Chain A
Amino acid sequence: MYSTITSGFRKALGLILFLGAIQGVTAQEPAAKKDTVAVIKIQVTGTILDAATGKGIVGARISLPNVSASITDASGSFKINVPTYFEDLLVTAEGYDGKQIPLKGRKQISVSLLEEGYSGFQDPLTSPLSIEPMRNTTSASSRIQLSNEWTKPNETLDALLQGQVAGLNSTRRSGTPGVGANLFLRGYNSLYGTNKPLVIVDGMIYDVNDYGQSIIANNYTNPFALINVQDIDNVTVLKDAASIYGTKGTNGAIIITTSRAKQQATHIDFGAYTTYNQQPSSLPVMNADDYRVYLSGMLQSKGLSSSEINAMPFMIDDTTGNPDYYRYHNNTNWQNKVFNNSLTNNYFLRVTGGDNIATYALSVGYSKAEGTIRSTDMNRYNTRFNAAFNFSKRFTGSANLSFTFNEQNLRDQGISDKTAPLFLALTKAPFMLDREVNDKGVTSPNFADTDILGKSNPAVLINNMQAFNKYYRFSGSFKFNYAISKTLNASTLIGVTYDKVRENIFIPRKGVADDTLSNAVADSRLGSQVKRLFAFYTDTRLEYSKTIRRYHQFTSRLGLRYQHSDAEQDYALGFNSATDDLVSVQNGLNALRQIGGGIGEWNWMNTYFNAEYGFKNKLFLAFNAAADGSSRFGTQVKNGVLINSNHFAVLPSASLAWLLSSENFMADSKIDLFKLRLSWSMTGNDDIGNYSTRQSYTSQNLLGMQGLVRNGIPNPALQWETGEKFNAGVDVSALNDRLTFTMDFFHSKTRNMLVYENITGAAGFNTILTNNGSMQNTGLEATVGVRLINKKNLKWDISGNIATIRNMVKHVPGGRFFTEYAGATLLTQGDRPAGLFYGYVSNGVYSTSTEAAEAGLKVKNADGSYTAFGAGDIRFSDINGDKLIDENDRRVLGSPMPEYFGGFSNKLTYRRFQLEALFTFAGGHEVFNYMRYRLESASNTDNQLNSVINRWRAEGQVTNMPKATYGDPLGNSRFSNRWIEDGSYLRLRHASLSYALPVKGEFVRNATIYVTGTNLLTFTKYMGYDPEFSASPSLYGQGIDTGLDPLYRSATLGVKLGF
């Protein structure tokens, strides 16, 4: 396969090189003519002022590149000779933010410069192929400078981007250290393919895919946890025109640049931080007394007789007749046995420096983060080495090497009723104790076993369960650059990624409820898993760049990317080791051992062509095209180009930017910059499965015999999903750059969207993957930044962004389908947003039997009989009016996708103090409170929320909490709007105060101390621990609170020293 692909590519490459050559020839034609040398005869005068003080800046540099230059005098005045009054002057000054000033016919200008580090459209943006000022870009991109993010050492980049980029919805998964966030850039683009943006670190694709589930329940190994945010210099979020990445670009791209030496002098930066993590506030579950009343009713409803219930050890209230009295007469706050306050420590050291041959940046870091779930933590050891070399004048190179090792102690979380400590803490009977107690009430240091109601002991899971996750990644690349001529440049990048995840679990027998396997009862559970990824990546390109007559800037690139990935997952699960001291997987019973895994190997080749044209620094055009081949594509694909029997996705894009503010008619305007952008692009998504287009087999165990069975029906016509994107945007900067504003409208459409299509039962399988779906997103984004106060000692910046997105499924086979997750039903239907909650509608509780009889509703039981709703049951809406509450009475209950989200921040600088605050928000969406669904279902002996005390108990009682019935025969707790809540929130995500110590010594250059708070305040109506959670990367897992470890509040005290 590989050879055919490469031969196919060779042909494709040949074709594109040919086209590129024609382009190159036509481009070079004017270059062959003699370049016009500007005649410098006109003078422009002006002053360069400090925007804060209004005083002139001495020594500011004014230049017209390649033509003339000048320096300001003591009063900040300058004179410069220019060829015409229609040039763009560059103004730079030490300690100030540089500016490009279009003269627009003016003979005299006055420019105010803001301090260095002020973010505006003059900042350089790292785009896929180059670094250029944001004012020149044609695409919708955001830039985040991270060099100030030392105050948040415990964040991962995905979570850190929350609220900082309009249109990037970052939802943190849980409160587990390092678990990060799910990223959706401009909505959902795929139902079953990935929705993750492509991540590029220092020019190389950074793999953020999932290679097989964790064996630790609902644990997610986050590749972003392998990047220390302190190592990151800046991030570009590319929202459209990502066709340069071919079939990997449909979800946009996040381009990360790690820090490197900026000067040749040696600099040492050291940071040390300690963070206090506060345990989340408890959910109000019933105390021992209320629970016992509830439990009596539940046991009665289960059918136990009075004497049986009276004989239960927890019902006998005297110590004499009941040897178990002390075991069953406590009031334990189980949540306190699971949560704790914890500490996180973080140390970081970076050395940069070099000489004129080579510069380097070397960093090492160590952090130990304890979770707020007891016994969980994460240790990270990371190192990164970036170097740049000047081998010769023309031959340069760079190296980017990083190695990170993470070690985590974890616990099961989410939907794992028998082993997740948090769920157990909420549902375990409060009259039990975590320790063994003897008949006299003396507590033992040993933990109590599974209780009389069959509940595991959460304290056992905290203390005796083992769940380790060790993962590391080596990522390294070398880039070589050769300047063939002044206009022609060749470069190549070669990199590898080696990634390994190792997990071990042991769940003891004592204190944990047994699990049931298909052929045995599992008491202790053991497991081991290894996931490996090896990826090889190259990116080779030829770049032609030429400026003709100073006004026509032309750049073209032709390149080839190739990626080969090889992933493997192997796991072994064991059960029933002889004792709880035998914890490794080989000690499980041989007969019960389960061994499995998967392999995935794929190739991707991306040939790209780019042409950019800039006219007079005010009109910019760009054209990109990619031709992608992949081992994943089928052999009978209908779209694309067929070369040597391989199908290539051809994905073009075009974009335009017009700087109206550089036009002469805006010479006297207060508006510093006004730019219009338009782009249209075709992108693709190759996440269709490595082998979905081929016949494959999977191992299956039938009565102890191992064999191979067909793994579904292959679809050789399966192809990439096609994304078509349109973007229109405007960038504005005014009031001497103190006001910046960006607004984008976008419309994207996914065609050939991957769907599971039902097939006839005779095929032996239910579904087949096809490209028969389509979906679209329409949205609006706005970002605004204002410097409110700009004084010498007092500066106040506020900024904010907001995005709103309307997602719409256009077509799916069969018109609609349902997806079940965590008890929720999600609807996907044409002309509606994807993944809507779809369930029953409840309207309170029948207070009396008469009311219930008047309504006359009933349910059909499994045996075909009917049961009528009675007093104390939920009053469900009979939507179709047939007096029967069944699946036809469901309707859309809401969408988990936020209607709007974003963030706003404040930065106040007073002398040496700096106060920063970032608020994030998301709103207009509904979430399914699965935890409340479990804690208010009142259908079993699990402890419940205090609200269940309000349950219906007797005729005439008016309440909205239905009666407690064992097994819930009428389905009062079915998926309905009872559990759907408003998921909107506004959160003070970060607040930090820093103080730069006045240091004078020669040894220490600078010293800053920080106090930072994270997740300090949350305003929400949500009733669970926290309104932010994400149970799965799938769009069908969003907005469902499965009880993952909640987010928590923390405070960091830190110091950063520079030498």
Chain B
Amino acid sequence: MNSRKWMIACALMTAGFFGSGCNKTIDDQTAITDPSLNKDLMELISEKADLSTFAGYLKQTGYDAVIASSRTYTVFAPGNAELATLDAAVKNDAAKLKQFIGNHITTQVYSTKDVTSTTRILMANGKYLSMNGTAIGASLITTKDQYAANGLLQQVDKMLPALENTWDFVAGSQSPANQKAFMMSLFRNVFDATNAIVIGINQTTGDPIYQAGTDSIFTNLFWNKVADLRDEKKQFTLFMMQDAAWDADQARFAPYYVTNTADSNKLVTGWNVLRDLAVDTLYEPGSIPDTITSAFGTRVPIERSAIVNTIRTSNGIVYIMSRINVQPSSKLKTIVIEGENYNSTSHDRRGNTYFRERYNPVTGQDFRDVEVFNHGVALFNIRYQVEEIPSIKYKAYWVAVNDFQTAAFNQRLAPGIATATTFPYVAVPVSNFNEVYLGEITLAQYQPVYNFYLVAANSTTAAVNPLVCDYIKLVPSL
């Protein structure tokens, strides 16, 4: 019979049903409606005749594959006419060209409508450019916000050259020579265990033993202590003094940093002058204030007339200055030693030591002090360690509040060693919240580390030998 035909028909019908799996409506909904979204940025750029040179460079540097990939990019493309003026030195150096082209690509979408305040954007070469609306670096976006599947194309009216960063500028500059030389002299080997190779353990201390040469890095003190001028993420303002000004400043500040040797005197003086010359804020020439406060609290007066030259770098700006007249009074600071922040005591009297919260009716402020009472040690003392004290004369004061007994008692400040008698014993009367003048001390030499002692009366009687101190103040006397 024709049962076989039936079977075949049935099988075909079933196969037809099972094959018809697609859902027309959802396919319509998810179809890509905009042809631009079927193109990646490289395809979009290749279509534009005016960007043929740029496209050529993209291929040459390998960036064509990057901007065709499935990450998002914004490409700032200068036209053929602009690129015609590209320096041959860049054009013919593969590394430099890659650096240059990389400065036109960023890995995010930056639309001119979205970037409404100055924004630093990271370019593919690791440098940053500032964008605000249609302004990018020193260029303007002419044809804006053209979208492709993986980002935006912005056509710009100028090239976006890859500038060197501030440190590279310093290292590569010829003048001013003296400040540069001093900055370059600050390279040191500094301990750093990050990449160290451990070759053993010290049997006594248990400390690791590192393979020689792996436990330190060669770095510049300026990077670590003032500003890492290589950092592309930040923006710096660096002042470089011309040689004459630099030398004059060295001479001017040398007396405050007297040391044993001329070399060390020069180093300390140089460092103290240099450290106030860089800040991690960008000051544009047009809006630079007359005084800048450095990270170390020094007020640095900037005379616009003294600006000899202005150099833009990828991470900031460098001003070459003919003169920076920093006042010693700004550089040499009052030293305040908080009583409770001592480094050691002559005897362990933690049981007799009190850290007190008090209110000062004279200043109207709360304060915290230290009191040692009934310690039973004659000439008991507390040691305070102060670092980097310039070689000048200081006037000494303290605030010591005796509100715990009705009788006054004596204590004294001893600089250098605990038995020093530079200052006399001074009575601490009942409830005196004022600063008490103690006398003067002149430091003949700059002291990298110096001790002050607060010494109790030479007695073991509790009421006679307490120590109390809110703070000790050393005011430079120039």
Residues of A within 8 A of B (CB): 278, 281, 283-284, 288-290, 292-293, 296-297, 300, 305-307, 309-310, 315, 317, 849, 870-871, 913, 945-947, 949-950, 953-959, 988, 991, 993, 995, 1011, 1013, 1016-1017, 1020-1024, 1049, 1051
Contact = CB atoms under 8 A, between A and B. Distances in A.
23 contacts: A284-B30, A293-B70, A293-B150, A300-B72, A305-B122, A309-B108, A310-B107, A871-B113, A946-B31, A946-B32, A949-B32, A949-B37, A953-B147, A954-B145, A954-B147, A955-B144, A959-B33, A995-B3, A1011-B10, A1013-B17, A1017-B20, A1023-B25, A1024-B26
B188 to A, nearest CB: 29
A284 B32 CA distance: 12
Highest count of chain B CB atoms <10 Å: which of A306, A947, A1021, A1051: A306
B10 A993 contact: yes
Given A307-B122, A955-B111, A947 B30 contact: yes
Interface in B1-60: 3, 6, 10, 13-14, 17-18, 20-23, 25-27, 29-34, 36-37
B140 to A, nearest CB: 17
Interface in B69-115: 69-72, 106-109, 111-113
A950 B151 CA distance: 13
B270 to A, nearest CB: 35
Contacts of B220: none
B152 interface: yes
Contact of B18 (A278, A292, A305): A278
Nearest to A292: B70
A945 B30 contact: yes
A311 to B, nearest CB: 11
B160 interface: no
A950 B17 contact: no
Given A278-B21, A292-B70, 7 more contacts: A293-B72, A306-B108, A306-B121, A309-B108, A310-B122, A949-B30, A958-B34
A956 B31 CA distance: 20
Contacts of A296: 71-72, 107-109
Contacts, number: 116
Given A281-B21, A1013-B17, A306 B122 contact: yes
Contact of B107 (A309, A870, A1022): A309
Nearest to B10: A993
A1051 B18 contact: yes
B146 interface: yes
A872 to B, nearest CB: 9
Contact of B34 (A306, A959, A1022): A959
A322 to B, nearest CB: 13
Size band of the interface chain B makes with A: 35 or more
A1023 B26 contact: yes
Contact of A1022 (B25, B33, B108, B111): B25
Contact of B23 (A281, A293, A317, A991): A281
Contacts of B22: 281
A979 B331 CA distance: 68
Interface in B179-208: none
A1005 B160 CA distance: 92
A435 to B, nearest CB: 22
Contacts of A958: 34
A957 B34 contact: yes
A906 to B, nearest CB: 14
Contact of A954 (B30, B70, B106, B146): B146
B217 to A, nearest CB: 21
B111 A1023 contact: no
Highest count of chain B CB atoms <10 Å: which of A949, A953, A1020: A953
Given A307-B122, A955-B145, A300 B18 contact: no
A954 B3 contact: no
Nearest to B24: A1021
A1051 B11 CA distance: 11
Nearest to A957: B147
A896 B358 CA distance: 73
Contacts of A310: 107, 122
Contact of A1049 (B18, B34, B233): B18
B324 interface: no
Contacts of A1013: 14, 17
Contacts of A293: 70-72, 149-151
A950 B34 contact: yes
Nearest to B66: A317
B407 to A, nearest CB: 55
B390 to A, nearest CB: 41
Interface string B274-300: 000000000000000000000000000
B133 to A, nearest CB: 12
A954 to B, nearest CB: 4
A111 B146 CA distance: 83
Interface in B140-162: 144-147, 149-152
A309 B72 CA distance: 11
A950 B30 CA distance: 8
Contacts of A283: 26
A870 B111 CA distance: 13
Nearest to A315: B71
B29 A1023 contact: yes
B150 to A, nearest CB: 5
B26 A284 contact: yes
The 4 closest A-B pairs by CB, nearest first: A289-B70, A946-B30, A306-B122, A296-B72
B152 A953 contact: yes
Contacts of A950: 32-34, 37
B108 A1051 contact: no
A946 to B, nearest CB: 4
A957 B144 CA distance: 13
B258 to A, nearest CB: 46
Contacts of A959: 33-34
Contacts of B106: 306
Nearest to A312: B71
A305 B122 CA distance: 9
Nearest to B3: A995
A296 B27 CA distance: 25
A1051 B14 contact: yes
A849 B112 CA distance: 11
A988 B13 CA distance: 13
Contacts of A297: 72, 109
Nearest to A314: B71
B17 A1049 contact: yes
Nearest to A431: B70
Contacts of A278: 18, 21
A1017 B152 CA distance: 44
B15 to A, nearest CB: 10
B27 A284 contact: yes
A913 B6 contact: yes
Given A290-B70, A306-B107, A317-B69, A1021 B25 contact: yes
A1024 B23 CA distance: 9
B23 A954 contact: no
Contacts of B111: 954-955
B113 A849 contact: yes
Contacts of A1017: 17, 20
A801 B113 CA distance: 59
Contacts of B21: 278, 281
Nearest to B23: A281
A16 B147 CA distance: 83
Nearest to A945: B30
Contacts of A871: 113
A1020 B29 CA distance: 14
A993 B151 CA distance: 56
Contacts of A315: 71, 107
A945 B29 contact: yes
B202 to A, nearest CB: 33
Contact of A300 (B109, B145, B147): B109
A794 to B, nearest CB: 14
A598 B70 CA distance: 54
A913 B109 CA distance: 66
B27 to A, nearest CB: 7
